[in-house]
C-alpha cells in the first residue's frame, strides 16, 4: 500500500509527462511539447543542484569538477546552433541520414538503425508508462561525426576542461516522458537546446535502487515516493540554454519533460 502514496511533486511530474494533449510552443523550434500548466511549476520548483552564472574556471575545479554537479548559465551563446536544431532545419539537412538508436536499458547495448526522418515522425512520441526499457528507442550518442559535422561545428561547449581529458560530443533527441534509468560514466556536460530535462543524481558511493530494464518514469512512480529523505537524489529540471555538469562516476537518470533536443560533452 505504501507504494501507492505519491508526493505532490511526483504527481506533478507524472501528470506532465503523461499528458496526451501537446501544444506547439512558439519558441520550441517546432518540436511538440506537453501542455503547460500548474503541474509544470510544481515540477520545476524541486531543485537542490546549484545554479551558477558567474563561475570561474578556478572555482569550477576547486568546488565542482571532482565533488558535485552544478548547473551553468550564460557562459556560452549557442543561439545559432539552437536555430539549426529546429525540427524543420534538422529534417531538411539530416532527414534521409541513417541514425543509430539505443534502448533505454542501463545494461543493454542493442542498437537499431533507421532514417532520422522516420525516427522523428514515427517514434518521437510521449513515453508509454507500460513500456520496458528495451522496448523504448531513443536517439543519443551514436552520431556519425562526419555526417553531422556541419551541425556540431556551430556548437560552443562550456569553457571548462579537465586535464588529461579530450571532449567528445553526443547529440540527442528524445520524446516527452522518456529517459534512461540510472547509469554512470566519465565526467561531462549536458546542455538542453529545446525542451526541459529533469535529472536525478547520486554520488558514486551511493548506488540507487532501480531496475535496469524499467524506465525512469516507472522508477519515479514506484520507487521515488517511498524513499527516505536521506535516500533522495540530487535533482533539478534543466531548462533550454542551461548546462548541467556531472562529475566522474556519478549515477544519473533523466526524464524528458518535453520533447527534448540536447547535446552532451563527455570528458574522456
- Comparing 35-49, 63-77, 122-136, the range with the smallest average pLDDT is 35-49
Number of domains in the chain: 1
Q: What is the mean pLDDT of residues 76-100?
A: 96
Q: What is the mean pLDDT of residues 52-60?
A: 96
CATH assignment at residue 38: 2.60.120.650
Question: In the chain, which ranges are continuous DSSP H helix?
Answer: 8-18, 38-45, 57-63, 79-84, 87-94, 116-118, 149-152, 216-222
Instruction: Kindly indicate the confidence band of residue 85, based on its pLDDT and cuts at 50, 70 and 90.
Output: very high
pLDDT(41) > 50: no
pLDDT(37) > 70: no
pLDDT(11) > 70: no
- Tell which wins on pLDDT, 128 or 55: 55
Residue 100's nearest CA partner among 180, 172, 29, 185 is: 172
**Structural domain harbouring 42:** 2-267
CB atoms within 10 A of CB 96: 10
pTM of the shown model: 0.85
- Dist. CA 135–CA 267, nearest whole Å: 29
pLDDT of residue 71: 98
pLDDT of residue 229: 93
- Tell which wins on pLDDT, 41 or 244: 244
Instruction: Kindly indicate the confidence band of residue 21, based on its pLDDT and cuts at 50, 70 and 90.
Output: very low
pLDDT(94) > 50: yes
Amino acid at each position: 500500500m505504501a507504494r501507492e502514496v505519491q508526493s505532490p511533486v511526483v504527481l506533478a511530474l507524472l501528470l506532465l509527462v503523461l499528458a496526451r494533449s501537446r501544444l506547439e510552443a512558439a519558441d520550441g523550434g517546432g518540436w511538440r511539447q506537453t501542455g503547460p500548466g500548474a503541474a509544470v511549476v510544481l515540477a520545476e520548483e524541486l531543485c537542490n543542484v546549484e545554479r551558477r552564472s558567474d563561475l570561474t574556471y578556478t572555482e569550477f575545479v576547486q568546488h565542482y569538477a571532482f565533488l558535485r554537479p552544478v548547473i551553468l548559465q550564460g557562459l556560452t551563446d549557442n543561439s545559432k546552433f539552437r536555430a539549426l536544431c529546429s525540427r524543420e532545419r534538422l529534417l531538411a539537412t539530416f532527414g534521409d541520414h541513417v541514425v543509430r538508436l539505443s534502448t533505454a536499458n542501463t545494461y543493454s547495448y542493442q542498437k537499431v538503425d533507421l532514417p532520422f526522418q522516420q525516427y522523428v515522425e514515427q517514434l518521437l512520441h510521449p513515453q508509454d508508462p507500460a513500456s520496458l526499457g528495451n522496448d523504448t528507442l531513443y536517439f543519443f550518442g551514436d552520431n556519425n561525426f562526419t555526417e553531422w559535422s556541419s551541425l556540431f561545428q556551430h556548437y560552443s561547449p562550456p569553457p571548462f576542461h579537465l586535464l588529461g581529458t579530450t571532449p567528445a560530443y553526443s547529440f540527442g533527441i528524445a520524446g516527452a516522458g522518456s529517459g534512461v534509468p540510472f547509469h554512470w560514466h566519465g565526467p561531462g556536460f549536458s546542455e538542453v537546446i529545446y525542451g526541459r530535462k529533469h535529472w536525478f543524481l547520486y554520488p558514486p558511493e551511493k548506488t540507487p535502487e532501480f531496475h535496469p530494464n524499467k524506465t525512469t518514469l516507472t522508477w519515479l512512480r514506484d520507487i521515488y515516493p517511498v524513499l527516505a529523505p536521506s535516500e533522495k537524489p540530487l535533482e533539478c529540471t534543466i531548462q533550454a540554454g542551461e548546462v548541467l555538469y556531472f562529475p566522474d562516476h556519478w549515477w544519473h537518470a533523466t526524464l524528458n519533460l518535453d520533447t527534448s533536443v540536447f547535446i552532451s560533452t563527455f570528458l574522456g
